[in-house]
Structure 1
Amino acid sequence: MKIAIIEDEIGITNFLKQGLEEEHYEVVTANDGEKGWELIQQSKPDLILLDWMLPKMSGIELCKKVRLTDATTPIIFLTARDTVHDTIEGLKSGANDYIKKPFSFEELLARISIYFRKNTEASQLTLGPIAMNRLTHQVFVSEREISLTQREFELLYFLMKNKGTVCTRTQIIEEVWNIHFEYDSGVIDVFMNSIRKKLNIPKEQEFIKTIRGIGYIAND
């Protein structure tokens, strides 16, 4: 698992890097917000440790920028700011967690392990004969592997992740396409047709149902 540390205090960065590498994590680092953004784009970390007060681009700004294109990678703020207002602002910007400096390294390790465990659990999904591993980007139907495009994969993942719940067309467009304005949702049907053809499951046994005028629901 790869962890990105975006922190301008070299002493803290070196301390965290050494400790995390001893725990067998891969660690990449940057010491300002702009370099942090470049690092995240290039290295695709599995978790981000983010300082609030950064040169060139604040942690809050960087967090919001990451969330425009990545809604899932865990982000943990490391900061001396500890008012309720600060906590709320950090979480509203898209962070998953908030640890006040100075902090226990053991506590940080525990928080990290929780998010990696959650990600692993969420990455392995099933729907009838369909099995998906989000980490390896593999989809199987009764042990037969099928090939999906990135968008098809993301659409199927969203429906499987929300199994048992009707996913509206608006929700799908916003979450899968990241479009938050009026848009022709007919594109969803095109991708669903392609997914169904690749899954090759008889219509009477389909596990993803169309809810006319509303959206789709995945159910075993």
Structure 2
Amino acid sequence: MRLTNYNLGGGIMGRERKRILCVEDDLDSCDMLRVLLHEYDVVTANTVGEGLKMARAERFDLYLLDSRYPDGSGVELCRQLRLFDTETPVVFHSGLEGESDIRDAMNAGAQAYLVKPIGIDELEGNIERLLEPQPNPSRMDS
């Protein structure tokens, strides 16, 4: 039997909640993001290894990554995710703001790079934009 989560708080009644895998090594940040993104089903992992294990075992609609972990980097995690999941959007939420940090993350397969601290409106706006259904160009009429 498969259990389905439904968005009963702030969304359209009966729509399945989008699932976000938040890989963040700071436990307080994990808790804060879970509360701030309450309209989503936020699942957290604290290391690169945990994040990869969860991403391989379950389906997520978006990955929210930091840049540094005790066992590796967010860029390496993103590269590893892209080996088996090329479609799910990746958002970096990081304190690193150097051009090379941003470029490396985007080259690894991220769709967005947000520098901490970031307002919840900007974070939610980026997540909503990336989770919107994209038009299928092969089905569009000319």
Do they fold alike, i.e. is TM over 0.5? yes
Name the TM-score, length of structure 2 as normaliser: 0.81
1:32 aligns with 2:47: yes
In structure 2, distance between residues paired with 1:45 and 1:10: 20
Residue 54 of structure 1: how far off its partner (Å): 1.0
Please tell me the residue identity of whatever aligns with 2:26: E
Q: Is the helix fraction higher in 1 or 2? A: 1
In structure 2, distance between residues paired with 1:86 and 1:57: 14
Q: Identify the residue that residue 9 of structure 1 maps to in structure 2.
A: 26
Please tell me the residue identity of whatever aligns with 2:42: V
Residue 162 of structure 1: how far off its partner (Å): 4.6
In structure 1, distance between residues paired with 2:43 and 2:32: 13
Q: Identify the residue that residue 69 of structure 1 maps to in structure 2.
A: 84
Q: How many pairs were matched up?
A: 125
Contact kept? 1:29, 1:39, Cα under 8 Å: no
Q: Identify the residue that residue 3 of structure 2 maps to in structure 1.
A: none
Name the TM-score, length of structure 1 as normaliser: 0.53
Residue-by-residue CA offset, 1:14-67 (whole Å, 9 max, x unaligned): 00001112xx21111100100010111122110010011012132111100111
Q: Identify the residue that residue 18 of structure 1 maps to in structure 2.
A: 35
Residue 91 of structure 1: how far off its partner (Å): 0.4
Residue 69 of structure 1: how far off its partner (Å): 1.7
1:89 aligns with 2:104: yes
Gaps spanning 5+ residues in structure 1: where?
Answer: 126-160, 165-218
Please tell me the residue identity of whatever aligns with 2:72: M
Change (3 A) 1:13 1:116: same
Aligned Cα root-mean-square deviation (Å): 1.8
User: What percentage of residue pairs aligned between the two structures are identical?
Assistant: 30
Please tell me the residue identity of whatever aligns with 1:46: D
Structure of greater Rg: 1
Q: Identify the residue that residue 134 of structure 2 maps to in structure 1.
A: 121
In structure 1, distance between residues paired with 2:129 and 2:52: 24
Gaps spanning 5+ residues in structure 2: where?
Answer: 1-17
Q: Which has the higher contact order (CA 8 A, sep 6+)?
A: 2
In structure 2, distance between residues paired with 1:100 and 1:64: 20
SS in 2 for 1:121: coil
1:54 aligns with 2:69: yes
Q: Identify the residue that residue 13 of structure 2 maps to in structure 1.
A: none
Residue 121 of structure 1: how far off its partner (Å): 3.0
In structure 2, distance between residues paired with 1:36 and 1:69: 13
